[in-house]
Amino acid sequence: MDKEIARLEALELKRQNEGIELIASENYPSVDVRAAQGSIFTAKYAEGYPGKRYYGGCEVVDQVENLAIERCKSLFHAAFANVQPHSGSQANFAAYRALVKPGDKILSLTLNDGGHLTHGSNVSFSANTYSFAFYPLGDDGKLDYDIIRQRLFEERPNLLLAGYSAYPFTIDFRRMRELVDEYNASTGERCLFMVDMAHIAGQVASGKCQNPCDYADIVTSTTHKTLRGPRGGIILTNDEALAKKVNSAVFPFTQGGPLEHVIAAKAIAFAEANTDGFRAYFDGVLANTRACNDELARLGRKVSGTENHLFLLDVLSSYGINGLEAQLRLERVGITTNKNMIHGDTLSPKYCSGLRIGFAAATSRGCDAEQARTIARLIDKALSCGEDELDCVRLEVRAITAGWKDISKLVF
Ligand SMILES: *Cc1c(COP(=O)(O)O)cnc(C)c1O
């Protein structure tokens, strides 16, 4: 292998193995998923869809993609699935294209409250193609469905968007569907409802929250976060006409040749997620996240509480430092997190007042609730101790990860 890249891969493996990964959007895929990503399917051009390709020699990749589609549909109980989007952002690009026209209005969550760049940020294609209006969270930092209802009637959007990047509580998709139906019935408009479940796909797959596919016109997702698959995106719908629009929005509108090697890896991940083992894994994710949140609360720190795989720690009120400083401090002891805006944040996005902490990745390596509480105490120590004590915390982090599974050998 290329010596330079081999050296860097070894360094990255060591960094990941020795550290505690608490970035809520990350996870460790199985050996099988990673092998498929390195398979010969990468060599095949297959523009189009199974049975309708622009190239010859697709009889095998057609079976791969059909398998991925069938497994994806059965995992999420949806009638149609497109497994070609290269990423979550690409999936959203295509989903918007299928649902609304340029200039149409999309109502989404205020970005500082946990939305994603593709949900109306000025630096993304989204705000440059569509007109965005936003609904804020309630005073308690949770979705307030009366506010969303009010914003629907005020803004009269063409699309209501739910699903977030840093929201620690469950989302009542059924309620949002009812709001859209009520709005449409009383105004004669035809507002559509889309859910981006990029973060919570694993929780949905394990049946531990409402399934947005039961309520939304279109559901998009990543496959590499809580779902524990390869890096990529998917789009789901139960509406045949929309499914056709989605397919042409993905190819040829947005993308060229699909990544059949990644689609093979997605097929494996969908099968892995449709097992009792995965459902037990997700119980662990939820228990560990709660244990860490609750332990920090017991220590007197300001945490958001949690009903999924993540929570937010207000480091400004808890430790008098900003999110960036906290992130850098934790990095020095081998704990990886990211700075994040918290509800009502007074600092700029460059610094933020909070940290986002998630347990999807650590749980894949074997972290249990007792260790999650220990990790809470290590975070607390690293954020409040003197510079000279950081080395000692680093050793304690190392002692925990030494007992965990090697991430290059994970089998689920
Ligand atoms: C991560 C995320 C995405 C984008 O995924 P990429 O694969 O990084 O493009 C989209 N939406 C939400 C809500 C996300 O959290």
Name the active-site residue from 44, 149, 225, 290: 225
For residue 26, being part of any structural domain is answered with no
SS3 content of the chain, % helix, strand, coil (to 5): 50, 15, 35
**Same domain membership, residue 226 and residue 198:** yes
- Given 273, 293, 318, which residue is the final one in a domain? 273
Give pLDDT, residue 322. Answer: 98
Tell whether 249 and 281 lie within a shared domain: no
Rounded-to-integer distance, Cα 129 and Cα 240, Å: 25
- Among 245, 273, 301, give the residue marking a domain's end: 273
Residues 259 and 139 in one domain: yes
Question: Does 192 reside within a domain?
Answer: yes
Please indicate, yes or no, whether the overall pTM of this predicted structure exceeds 0.85: yes
Q: 52-53 and 335-336: which strand pairing? A: unpaired
Verify whether ligand 1 is closer than 6 Å to residue 116 (CB atom): yes
What is the pLDDT at residue 229? 98
Whose structure tokens read 């095998």? 60
Question: Within a 10 A sphere around the Cβ of 371, how many other Cβ atoms?
Answer: 21
In this prediction, residue 114 has a pLDDT band, given cuts at 50, 70 and 90, of confident
Domain for residue 24, yes or no? no
Residue 397 lies in a domain: yes
111 and 240 co-located in one domain: yes
Domain check: are 292 and 268 in the same one? Answer: no
pLDDT at 326: 98
Do residue 262 and residue 281 come from a single domain? no
Do 262 and 293 lie in a common domain? no
Domain span at 82: 31-273
- CB of 199 within 6 A of ligand 1: the answer is yes
Mean pLDDT (the chain) is 97
Three-state DSSP at 309 gives coil
225 classed as catalytic = yes
Question: Residue 292, SS3?
Answer: helix
Would you say residue 37 lies in a domain?
A: yes
Residues 251 and 307 in one domain: no
Report the pLDDT value the prediction gives residue 303, as an integer from 0 to 100.
Answer: 98
Residue 142: active-site member:
no
Tell me the pLDDT band of 1, cut-offs 50, 70 and 90: confident
Q: Which of 216, 243, 273 is the last residue of a domain?
A: 273
Domain tally, the chain: 2
CATH code at 292?
Answer: 3.90.1150.10
In angstroms and rounded to an integer, the radius of gyration of the C-alpha atoms of the chain is: 21
Helix (H) / strand (E) containing 355: strand 354-358
Q: Are residues 75 and 173 in the same domain?
A: yes
Q: pLDDT over 70 for what percent of the chain?
A: 100
**Same domain (yes/no): 120, 169:** yes
Indicate if 45 belongs to the active site: yes
Helix (H, G, I), strand (E, B) or coil at 314: strand
Look up residue 366 and give its two tokens. 């074997």
Domain with 123 in it: what CATH number?
3.40.640.10
Residue 18 located in a structural domain? no
Q: Is the pLDDT of residue 111 over 90?
A: no
If you search the block for the tokens 């399917």, which residue do you land on? 41
Paired tokens of 180? 């859209």
Answer yes or no: is the C-beta of 93 below 6 A from any ligand 1 atom.
Answer: no
109 Cα–ligand 1 center, Å:
14
DSSP characters for 19-61? Answer: SEE--TT-----HHHHHHHTSGGGG----EETTEESSS--HHH
Angstrom distances, CA of residue 71 to CA of 80, 95, 324: 11, 20, 40
Say whether both 295 and 257 belong to one domain: no
pLDDT tens figures, 248-304: 999 999 999 999 999 999 999 999 999 999 999 999 999 999 999 999 999 999 999
Same domain flag for 239 and 359: no
Closest ligand 1 atom, residue 197 Cα: 13
Residue found under tokens 């981006």: 196
Query: Could you identify the residue written with the tokens 């990255």?
Result: 12
196 catalytically annotated: yes
Is 15 among the domain residues?
no
The verdict on residue 411 lying in a domain is: no
Q: Is the pLDDT of residue 22 over 90?
A: yes
